[in-house]
Amino acid sequence: MINRTVLWTLAGAFAGCITVNIYFPAPEVRRAAEQIVDETWGSIEPTSATPRAESRDTSWRWPFSMSAAYAQDVDINVSTAAIRALKDQMRARAGQLKPFLDKGALGIDNGGMLTLRQLEGVPLREQATVRRLVEAENRDRQTLYEEIAKANDFGADRVDDIRRIFAETWIQKAEKGWWIQKQDGSWTQR
């Protein structure tokens, strides 16, 4: 009787110590963001490889450590048909947007979206085109974040985390001379 009581007490104590954490793979999402920004706006050719976390087999430690919950291989899927189509559209549009970023007519806001800064000096017939391009780019960026969350079963509540990581990446990879918005709302030239 004592052995059974001790056994149930130990089992209950062990079960009470288990904490369920839902892990969001921010480093892997950051690598995916860098890959996508480079493919769509940079000079790097698109790759079919998906970023992977380093494989660490720690399953042998499970009874003694909760690290096993975090040690799973994490594949960030950025190659669904919808994501590929969005990347293609963004890549095709980048060449049209970059001259306006170079002129300072557009900037990258602190949310990673393109914004009209000043259209002075942009011919009137081009202003409507610029507005249309910016709207399309921002719509595709938002859809991209939603599609990444969907493709990786992160849930809609993680779209903001993905957006934040991409915003940091868009700003970090901005070309020299482009205007970027700081977190305090002020603008600075890269």
Looking at per-residue confidence, does 66 or 82 come out higher?
Answer: 82
Write out the chain in H/E/C secondary structure: CHHHHHHHHHHHHHHHHCCCCCCCCHHHHHHHHHHHHHHHHCCCCCCCCCCECCCCCCHHHHHHCHHHHHCCCCECCCCCHHHHHHHHHHHHHHHHHHHHHHHCCEEECCCCCEEECCCCCCCHHHHHHHHHHHHHHHHHHHHHHHHHHHHCCCCHHHHHHHHHHHHHHHHHCCCCCCEEECCCCCEEEC
Q: Which of 81, 105, 94, 1 is nearest to 39 (CA)?
A: 94
Q: Does residue 43 fall inside a structural domain?
A: yes
Q: How far apart are the first and last CA of the chain?
A: 73
Provide the pLDDT for residue 111.
95
148 pLDDT above the threshold of 70: yes
144 pLDDT above the threshold of 80: yes
Q: Does residue 182 fall inside a structural domain?
A: yes
Q: Which residue has the tokens 């890549």?
A: 91
Q: Does residue 130 fall inside a structural domain?
A: yes
What are 7-57's pLDDT values in tens digits? 566 555 555 555 444 678 999 999 999 999 999 998 544 444 434 333 333
Q: How many domains does the chain have?
A: 1
Mean pLDDT on 53-66: 38
What are 93-137's pLDDT values in tens digits? 999 999 999 999 999 999 999 999 999 889 998 999 999 999 999
Looking at per-residue confidence, does 35 or 5 come out higher?
Answer: 35
Mean pLDDT on 56-70: 39
Provide the pLDDT for residue 121.
86
Q: Does residue 56 fall inside a structural domain?
A: no
Q: Does residue 59 fall inside a structural domain?
A: no
CB 180, CB 188: distance < 8 Å = yes
Q: Does residue 20 fall inside a structural domain?
A: no
Provide the pLDDT for residue 23.
79
What are 76-104's pLDDT values in tens digits? 899 999 999 999 999 999 999 999 999 99
Rounded to whole angstroms, the Cα distance separating 148 from 79 reads 9
Mean pLDDT on 62-68: 40
Q: Does residue 65 fall inside a structural domain?
A: no
Provide the pLDDT for residue 190.
92
Q: Does residue 54 fall inside a structural domain?
A: no
- Cβ burial of 115 (10 Å; 0-12, 13-18, 19+) is middle
Q: Domain containing 107: what range?
A: 27-48+77-189
